[in-house]
Chain A
Amino acid sequence: MPNVKATTVSAEDPQAYEDAHVHAVYDSIAPHFSSTRYKPWPIIAAFLSSLAPGSVGVDLGTGNGKYLPLGPPGSPGCVWTVGLDRSRNLLEIARTAGGGLREVVWGDVLDRPWRLGAFDYAISIATIHHLATHARRKAAVKRLLESISPTHGRALVYVWAIEQDELSKRSIPVESDAAPTEAAKQASRGQDVFVPWVLAQPAEPKPKARRKGKATDREASQRSQEEVKATDDAAPTEIEPPKVFERYYHMFAKGELNELVTEAASEMGLSVGVPGSAQGPGACGMEIVQDGWERSNYYVELRRWKQ
């Protein structure tokens, strides 16, 4: 059953478009969304465990803050990650992620509300794909690169891929009638889609309050109704029909993420390559340390350098 559908971004006001199809949605689904997002992905956990003691970083689009408590094994408290998100309701959850008190900031990944190069590292996980135009996605990468140290800053970016895991429950619309050249063009640009979030209306009297002790019960009863096939089975126990929120995503094509970060770095005057590959002392650059595909996402790890 196709549950992801193609969409076209209204070009005149991408900000309003994102407000309606991303920010408002996350504010509405925050507790349920959070209850389905608890497992850290291995490459991200490895990145965070490789940080030097005293490092301070930022999680751009922190969501429920699940990466904020992570750090080097044995001493996660020797690094600090500040979480930024556009959804106030998700930040209320993120501020106590992992049972501790976290530092969170209500802000936008298109802004840079801190000192230039203030952070040793940045992560941006499943966030940039919610921006509705190429120019805005590139602007977000520039803000990220400005936020990390120009001499040693490291970054890890994850976005959703057109290339999907066979385990994924999502099915991707394919424009089969497009001419080959059009299809190839489409592939290099990725695809704009809506992904539904099915929010069951729980039969309990006060669905909106979410307090600490209750979390486990609610998580169990509401567990992962995202894109599930079995929504119908659950229906008889619901008083109201489930509400469906359509979230906007730009699904990245193969190679598109690397092109995006390369373009952003070049426009900032950074040479893209290994340290020492630029001309002259004082030259600034950015290295792509590793990149790849993991579980339906593309990722790229970056490092800034100065020679």
Chain B
Amino acid sequence: MVRLITHNILACHAKGCTTNNFPLQFQDVSIELREAEFNADFLRGFLPRLEWAALVSAARQLGDTSLPEQQPEMLDDEFLQKLHHVLLEIHVEEGAMVCPNCKHVYPISNGIPNMLLAEHEIG
């Protein structure tokens, strides 16, 4: 699966591509929404580890505008529900992720991102 929890971690690793290599940009994606079990402890603990701006822009690329530009300080239940949905319930099934720097394309097929590089691209 490529959910935004994973997208928030992935970065381009092609040879020589070390700056501006995150976040990858979605391209030609098809998505599916699937309910996931809500776990407030996970969300509260994970929040400080998130790259917030990357999450907000990725969600917008997928058509979800529910998250505020700035990470809120109050973690009320309404916010955690939105965060849960964006992180764990939007599945990118097909498409690609493109490096903003070197334009390397990482295809997504059947929900699985292909992060392998050809031999000459390995750093």
* Complex partner residue of B116 from A55, A80, A82, A106, CB under 8 angstroms: A106
Beta-carbon contact of B49 and A113 below 8 Å: no
Chain A residues touching B, range: 35 or more
Give the B interface residue count (CB, 8 A): 36
Q: Are B42 and A114 in contact (CB under 8 A)?
A: no
Q: Are B116 and A107 in contact (CB under 8 A)?
A: yes
Report whether over half of chain A's contact residues are helix, strand or loop; otherwise say mixed: loop
Q: With contacts A78-B41, A111-B122, A113-B10 known, is A56 near B49, CB below 8 A?
A: yes
Q: Which of B36, B46, B47, B91 has the most CB of A within 10 A?
A: B46
Beta-carbon contacts of B80-107 to A below 8 Å, as 1s and 0s? 0000000000010000000000000000
Determine whether the beta carbon of A77 is less than 8 Å from that of B42. yes
- Per-residue 0/1 for A102-134: is the Cβ within 8 Å of any B Cβ (1 yes, 0 no)? 111111101111110011100000000000000
B114 in the interface, Cβ–Cβ < 8 Å? yes
> How many pairs of A and B residues are in contact by the CB < 8 Å rule?
95
Across the interface, do A113 and B42 meet the contact criterion of CB distance under 8 Å? no
- Does A88 belong to the interface (CB within 8 Å)? yes
Interface contact A103-B42, CB-CB below 8 Å:
no
Distance, CA A166 to CA B34, complexed state (A): 47
Best-surrounded residue of A102, A113, A118, A119 (most CB of chain B within 10 A): A113
Task: List B contacts of A290 (CB < 8 A).
Answer: none
B112 engages A54 (CB within 8 Å): no
Measured CB to CB, the nearest residue on chain B to A51 is B45
- Report the bound CA distance from A115 to B91 in whole Å: 21
Report how far A103 CA is from B48 CA in the complex, Å: 20
Which A residues touch B22, using CB under 8 A?
Answer: 115
A residues engaging B (CB < 8 A)? 15, 52-56, 75, 77-80, 82, 84, 86, 88, 91-92, 95, 101-108, 110-115, 118-120
Q: Could you pull out 29 A-B pairs where Cβ atoms are within 8 angstroms?
A: A15-B119, A52-B45, A54-B41, A54-B45, A54-B46, A54-B47, A54-B48, A54-B49, A55-B45, A55-B46, A56-B5, A56-B9, A77-B37, A84-B115, A92-B110, A95-B1, A95-B111, A101-B1, A102-B1, A103-B2, A104-B112, A106-B116, A107-B114, A108-B116, A113-B11, A114-B10, A114-B13, A115-B22, A118-B9
